[in-house]
């Protein structure tokens, strides 16, 4: 496919999906009604979410759609009696489904998002909202034009740590924040690449709806490696920036109530995982925000010592949010949020350990499906975090500083 035909195709695909946005009215649920759920994409993450939704009281998993028959069998093991489809549109045709969870690869999120809303179902859609900025705009507009309840799979939006950080910031304990530094790091044994998954022997053309997986990407013979390892390639993925930075940018943007970044810079490359992947394993991002703020994010796949976290640096105090890094004195590990006063400006301030309880992100969505309230991670934080990560990836791929205007004017490509 030439560059031009590919662009035309992307444009037509976007228009084609937009053309049938006519939101039917779904059944009104009473406070005690059972919520009937369908799922699109039931791989690794999808099977976790399947277990989560089945654990929510008075909720029933009715059907799943996945392009790979192995996932049908795995889902049936977890939820016997469900219907299974290899085309998500058959699932959306089911009148007795109220709400749909999407955990498909990134390049299919926009299609599944728009089709689910068009079918009149409420939606839980995994992060990152979409593969590109134009798709993010289209999905946000569609969500706003519908009355559907939309939760994005940014589960840190339901964390107690976010509630604590917001309160400390609102109460003026942090002062003026000019910098937030964040990081995320992982490691694997020598010879084993981060994210690389073995291709099961039953992953054959007979068992996979290959054209549905491609979802408009240039046609080619069946390629099981790309189906299973879609994360490693730009045409399906945004790499670790859309996989993980998005969680942390959403958390930071929510804590500080930030608008979209004004500019992004990103350096790095494929330095440790030289296995043919396209997306970088080593990354340093800088985002500029209005009103004197810089946010950084660093990531590596060949050292996990500091795991992940954020440092919010204010004139009057510091917020330290860490996950996994163990405390040498207490031997505790896991998520922790702490506040430390800047003694020069808060001489009587004391350190505080965050204690707010986390909410169940899936349970919050189901509650909102019944109450019609706005869930903890609505489409707008999905949009803001998606634009931020796509600006960073564009800066990396264009090898230059990318402003918000430049990013919005860039046609998606891979
Ligand atoms: N919120 C989190 O913490 C979190 C964690 C992991 C993954 N995720 C997200 O979940 C999504 C899935 O990731 P994963 O690791 O489960 O990937 P995966 O490859 O294990 O699962 C994706 C599934 O979607 C199926 N699929 C592919 N194209 C499809 C289509 N057109 N229609 C229906 N099914 C299709 C595949 O066969 C596969 O079973 C990604 O967006 C990822 O970013 C979120």
Q: Is the CB of 130 under 6 A from ligand 1?
A: no
Distance CA 156, CA 154 (A): 6
Q: DSSP letter at 68? A: B
Q: Is the CB of 127 under 6 A from ligand 1?
A: yes
Q: Whose CA is nearest to atom 13 of ligand 1?
A: 45
The number of the ligand 1 atom at minimal distance from the alpha carbon of 48 is 16
Q: How many helices (H) and strands (E) does the chain have?
A: 14, 15
The number of the ligand 1 atom at minimal distance from the alpha carbon of 106 is 41
Q: How far is the CA of 86 from the centre of ligand 1 (A)?
A: 14
Q: Is the CB of 239 under 6 A from ligand 1?
A: no
DSSP secondary structure string, 183-219? EEE----TT--TT--PPPTT-SGGGB-HHHHHTTSPP
Using 50, 70 and 90 to split pLDDT, how confident is the model at 27? confident
The number of the ligand 1 atom at minimal distance from the alpha carbon of 155 is 1
Answer for the pair 42, 126: CB distance below 8 angstroms, yes or no.
no
Q: How far is the CA of 105 from the centre of ligand 1 (A)?
A: 4
pLDDT value at 25 more than 90: no
pLDDT > 90 in the chain, percent = 88
pLDDT value at 205 more than 60: yes
Q: How far is the CA of 75 from the centre of ligand 1 (A)?
A: 14
Ligand 1 pocket mutation, candidates 49, 101, 126, criterion most atoms within 8 A of CB? 126
Q: Is the CB of 240 under 6 A from ligand 1?
A: no
Answer for the pair 193, 277: CB distance below 8 angstroms, yes or no.
yes
Beta-bridge partner residues of 123: 100, 150
Distance CA 34, CA 268 (A): 48
Q: How far is the CA of 46 from the centre of ligand 1 (A)?
A: 6
Average pLDDT value for residue range 108-125: 98
Q: How far is the CA of 231 from the centre of ligand 1 (A)?
A: 9
Chain segment 44-67, per-residue pLDDT in tens:
999 999 999 999 999 999 999 999
The number of the ligand 1 atom at minimal distance from the alpha carbon of 68 is 37
Chain segment 370-391, per-residue pLDDT in tens:
999 999 999 999 999 999 999 9
Q: Is the CB of 281 under 6 A from ligand 1?
A: no
Distance CA 255, CA 318 (A): 13
Q: Taking the model in full, what pTM does it have? A: 0.93
Q: How far is the CA of 129 from the centre of ligand 1 (A)?
A: 13
Q: Is the CB of 125 under 6 A from ligand 1?
A: no
Answer for the pair 184, 47: CB distance below 8 angstroms, yes or no.
no
Q: How far is the CA of 40 from the centre of ligand 1 (A)?
A: 9
pLDDT number for residue 22: 53
Q: Is the CB of 217 under 6 A from ligand 1?
A: no
Ligand 1 pocket mutation, candidates 41, 124, 365, criterion most atoms within 8 A of CB? 41
Entry field: residues in the chain: 414
Ligand 1 pocket mutation, candidates 104, 159, 198, criterion most atoms within 8 A of CB? 104
Q: How far is the CA of 61 from the centre of ligand 1 (A)?
A: 18
In b/e form, how buried is each residue of 161-193, taking b as 16+ CB within 10 angstroms? bbbbbbebbeeebbbebeebebbbbbeeeeeeb
Q: Is the CB of 159 under 6 A from ligand 1?
A: no
Mean pLDDT over the full length of the chain? 93
The number of the ligand 1 atom at minimal distance from the alpha carbon of 46 is 16
Average pLDDT value for residue range 187-213: 97
pLDDT number for residue 298: 98
Answer for the pair 163, 254: CB distance below 8 angstroms, yes or no.
no
Answer for the pair 49, 151: CB distance below 8 angstroms, yes or no.
no
Closest CA to 99 of 122, 127, 82: 122
* Other Cβ atoms closer than 10 A to 130: 30
Q: How far is the CA of 289 from the centre of ligand 1 (A)?
A: 31
Q: Is the CB of 68 under 6 A from ligand 1?
A: yes
Using 50, 70 and 90 to split pLDDT, how confident is the model at 2? very low
Using 50, 70 and 90 to split pLDDT, how confident is the model at 327? low
Answer for the pair 301, 277: CB distance below 8 angstroms, yes or no.
no
Using 50, 70 and 90 to split pLDDT, how confident is the model at 246? very high
């Amino acid at each position: 496919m030439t560059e031009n035909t590919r662009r035309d195709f992307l444009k037509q695909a976007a228009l084609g999906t937009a053309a049938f946005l006519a939101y039917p009215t779904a059944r009104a649920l009473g406070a005690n009604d059972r919520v009937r759920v369908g799922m699109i994409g039931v791989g690794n993450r999808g099977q976790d979410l399947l277990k989560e939704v089945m654990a929510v009281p008075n909720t029933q998993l009715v059907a799943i759609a996945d392009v790979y028959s192995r996932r049908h069998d795995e889902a049936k093991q977890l939820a016997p009696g469900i219907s299974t489809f290899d085309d998500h549109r058959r699932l959306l045709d089911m009148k007795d489904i109220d709400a749909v969870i999407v955990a498909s690869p990134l390049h299919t999120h926009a299609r599944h998002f728009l089709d689910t809303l068009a079918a009149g179902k409420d939606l839980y859609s995994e992060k990152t909202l979409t593969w590109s900025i134009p798709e993010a705009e289209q999905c946000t507009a569609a969500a706003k034009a519908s009355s559907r309840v939309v939760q994005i799979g940014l589960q840190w939006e339901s964390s107690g740590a976010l509630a604590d950080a917001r309160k400390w910031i609102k109460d003026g304990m942090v002062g003026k924040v000019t910098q937030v530094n964040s990081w995320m790091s992982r490691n694997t044994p020598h010879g084993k690449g981060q994210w690389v998954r073995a291709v099961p022997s039953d992953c054959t053309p007979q068992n996979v709806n290959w054209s549905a997986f491609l979802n408009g990407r240039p046609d080619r013979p069946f390629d099981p490696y790309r189906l299973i390892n879609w994360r490693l390639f730009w045409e399906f993925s945004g790499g670790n920036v859309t996989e993980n930075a998005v969680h942390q940018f959403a958390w930071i943007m929510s804590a500080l109530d930030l608008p979209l970044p004004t500019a992004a810079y990103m350096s790095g490359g494929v330095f440790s995982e030289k296995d043919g992947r396209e997306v970088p394993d080593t990354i340093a991002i800088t985002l500029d925000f209005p009103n004197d703020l810089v946010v950084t994010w660093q990531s590596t796949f060949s050292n996990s010592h500091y795991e992940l976290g954020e440092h919010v640096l204010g004139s009057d105090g510091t917020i330290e949010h860490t996950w996994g890094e163990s405390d040498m004195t207490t031997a505790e590990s896991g998520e922790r949020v702490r506040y430390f006063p800047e003694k020069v400006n808060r001489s009587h301030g004391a350190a505080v350990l965050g204690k707010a309880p986390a909410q169940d992100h899936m349970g919050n969505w189901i509650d909102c499906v019944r109450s019609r309230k706005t869930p903890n991670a609505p489409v707008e934080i999905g949009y803001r975090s998606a634009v931020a990560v796509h600006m960073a990836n564009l800066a990396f791929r264009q090898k230059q500083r990318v402003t918000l205007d430049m990013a919005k004017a860039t046609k998606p490509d891979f």
